[in-house]
A and B are shown apart, each in its own frame.
Chain A
Amino acid sequence: MAKTLEKVDVVTVGVGWSGGIIGAECAKAGMKVLGLERGNERSTEDFLMVHDEFRYAIRYDLMQDLSKETITFRNTRKMRALPMRHMGSFLLGEGLGGAGTHWNGMTYRFLPYDFQIKSMTEKKYGKDKLSKDYLLKDWGITYDELEPYFDKFEKTAGISGEDTNPFWGKRSSDYPNPPMKKTPLLKKFEKASNSLGYDPFMVPSANLSQSYENPDGETIAACQYCGFCERFGCEYGAKTSPEITVVPTARKTGNYDVRFHANVIEVLKQGNKVTGVKYIDRQTGEEFIQPADVVVLTSYMMNNAKLLMVSNIGEQYNPETGKGTLGKNYCYQIEPGTTGFFDEQMNTFMGAGSLGMTIDNFNGDNFDHSNLDFIHGASISLTQTGNRPILTNPVPPDVPVWGAEFKKSSIENFTRTLSVFGQGASMPHKENFMSLDPKYKDVYGVPLLQLTYNFTEQDRNLHKFITDKTAEVMKEMGAKTVMAGNPITDYDIVPYQSTHNTGGTIMGANPEDSVVNNYLQHWDAENLFVVGAGNFNHNSGYNPTGTVGALAYRAAEGIIKYSKAGGSLV
């Protein structure tokens, strides 16, 4: 029998960026907040000896323990879904800070076009631009409505950037910090894109260009360009992450607590409200019921969807009938790119997670799609994140992947290779979705989440288009060998691509076609909020977390409102 604990005002399931933001805002407003986190406590102190590629980037020391829980995967409904036994395509977070501890920190706002993609696409290109199999949808909120929350997240995080990109939405204030250093490698990209007539800008970065105190009084140090950033924690406290910002802010109020090793297995619902959650203490195996006035799912988009599914909250999406919304609109991204081999040695091993320059000339609807067989686009960047030797062994196409020639060539090219790559938007398709696996279970006996996903025609067409653009930039940069990426075939869960999974708990203006409203309040349970990239109706041509942060601030405002007045917030 599960032991029932004392009730709290708000419980969050997981403490990454979304759980941390909800925690800080609600605790500041005087509510008693508890974060239930399945992983460990951790802080900057744990990262002093973090410059170890093998432990952190190869063996995923800071990430999810798949022996306890994973997902199953198949490309299509006809295929047998099998467990993702090793981590590969994306890297799931675990422990205080979640993936926000070991992210790169490229912090974008999605484009105004993203939030109204269906109506804007139809208006400009007609109703049949994409086939009916694509489930394009407006988000139930506009960029302008979300702007104050973007602004708030950027100030909390101390984002370092420059507002020179002509394609962005209007900003209410400039970035809180100037951009990072424009290194010689970045300048190569800048020069080439300028001469091609594009508009390069510095990537908005959560690796701070200078020491900064945020509005909550938390200090974030200046980035040292140490080259061990993505997949690593920052030993300087210079990479904005939840455990150095929103979590201490929440703790300072005296209204906040995090309980570690607490793996939530169910959301408890009675009538049209939830009453709390059930969790297992990983250390003792004991079950507990944690009652709460408000439950907030902040356990990354995958477990957010899974917890709703196992708790029978909302209607599961069915690709056969098109009915149901839970698990719908799973999207990812494509990563077209070109590698260039140069004669001169470059400092490719130095860098920072979000050090880079980007062009948006082929992102969103920033260019005319009338004669193109796809919509949306990709940001195209050159980043200098710090190459490391185990994972970086570039060789030209005619060189074998092992043996004498490989050794020579991969060593020679380690410091002589640059890449230009796109982050291509991903459109929702009726066959790409999440559900519960009927066969495989996690160590707690709960079914695994099942992912059915493949690239679609839209992805292939966009991939080809953007690959050509990246090759063009690379040529202009003067590479002696230009190696454009191969066309995409089927989505493969093995090689790393990005942890930019979206959808499954989509937001919208009405309950027929969304899971939550535009405060991320569940349509079927007014005291349940679901926060994360799962709320995205499609995925844009950028990294997701800037938009996740904005949505989390919006949800926090909703929760505080709800705690006073109750009822639906829309």
Chain B
Amino acid sequence: MADDKKGLSRRDFLKTTGIATGTLVGGGLIGGLVGYNANKGGTGTLDKKKGNDEHAQATNTRGLMFFTNQNEFNVLSQAVERIFPKDDLGPGAIGLGVPFFIDNQLAGNYGSNAKEYMQGPFFAGESTQGYQSKLTRAEIFKQGMASLDSEAQKRFDKRFVEIDGGQMDEVLTAFQKNEVNMIGVSSEFFFKLLRTATLEGAYADPIYNGNINMDGWRMKGFPGHQMSYINEIESEKFVKIEPKSVSSMEH
């Protein structure tokens, strides 16, 4: 099963789905693919070879786009590792690249709340009204890292990265229970953001710099991007499938 799925090209995709053989005539896909083929070799972003080479290079280079000092990034790394730790099933958040994923997201639309309503006036509101902070996520995370450090100082007289795992959990739990004072946002909300972002980094497609080697998916038995399950959907048994990234569609 895993093997015939591996390296399925766009052409095979047409074959497996019956489109190339004419069983599925017309429809949106044909239209789409005709358009797609017409662009081939042109200037389009889907230029196969080029896109592929660049991708191979890009995956070897990761870096900080948002955080400016190593301590912040280390605090982030330790915190997300406590939320999603390494165990006998496989890597934890650090091993999956989650800290880089979060850093990179904070530098983009997510960090600047680009697609969200950010006009004032701002009021605290009820919990049923959702997030009402004036701060962007980037600002919240920046403050959050400092708060984790100062909470560790307060409780243990050490920096966050210097305390042991159990102590880190104690600090994180204080945030989760809304026991820490933050400015313009509740610590509870910050913790929710951090937890959600951790899961996103563990399980998003590796094109976003987390879920390294698709190990998040592998642990979970999730095959990522597959073209079709029409041949397996009626199987009585659980079907194990080697995961694939959506980037495999680029070649």
Contact = CB atoms under 8 A, between A and B. Distances in A.
A492 interface: yes
A493 B130 contact: yes
Interface stretch (B68-76, B177-185, B195-203): B195-203
A44 B35 CA distance: 10
Chain B binding surface SS class = loop
Nearest to B88: A408
B27 interface: yes
Nearest to B120: A440
B220 A86 contact: no
Contacts of A221: 19, 24, 27-29
Chain A binding surface SS class = loop
Contacts of B200: 54, 58, 390
A52 B125 CA distance: 33
B201 to A, nearest CB: 9
Contacts of B221: 345, 349, 411, 414-415
B43 to A, nearest CB: 16
A60 B115 contact: yes
Contacts, number: 228
A184 interface: yes
Contact of B128 (A47, A220, A493): A493
Q: Which interface residue of A46, A236, A414 has the most chain B CB atoms within 10 A?
A: A236
A27 interface: no
A390 B85 contact: no
B174 to A, nearest CB: 14
A181 B231 CA distance: 11
A249 to B, nearest CB: 13
Contacts of A45: 31-33, 35-36
B235 A347 contact: yes
B2 interface: no
Interface string A223-246: 111111000001111100001100
Interface string B100-111: 000000000110
B31 A43 contact: yes
B233 A347 contact: yes
B66 interface: no
Nearest to A185: B233
A115 B139 CA distance: 51
A288 interface: no
Contacts of B87: 404, 407-408
Given A48-B36, A347-B233, A390-B203, A66 B238 contact: no
B25 A403 contact: no
Interface stretch (B56-64, B151-159, B222-230): B222-230
Contacts of A238: 27, 29
B204 to A, nearest CB: 4
Interface in B100-145: 109-110, 113-119, 121, 123, 125-132
Interface of A: 43-49, 51-54, 58-60, 65-67, 69-70, 73-75, 79-80, 82-86, 88, 181, 183-184, 211, 213, 218-228, 234-238, 243-244, 344-347, 349-351, 388-390, 393, 401-404, 407-408, 411, 414-415, 439-441, 490-494
8 contacts: A82-B129, A184-B236, A220-B28, A350-B229, A389-B216, A403-B82, A403-B85, A414-B221
Given A58-B204, A494-B128, 13 more contacts: A52-B207, A59-B110, A59-B115, A84-B117, A85-B116, A85-B117, A222-B230, A227-B229, A244-B27, A389-B222, A407-B87, A415-B221, A492-B130
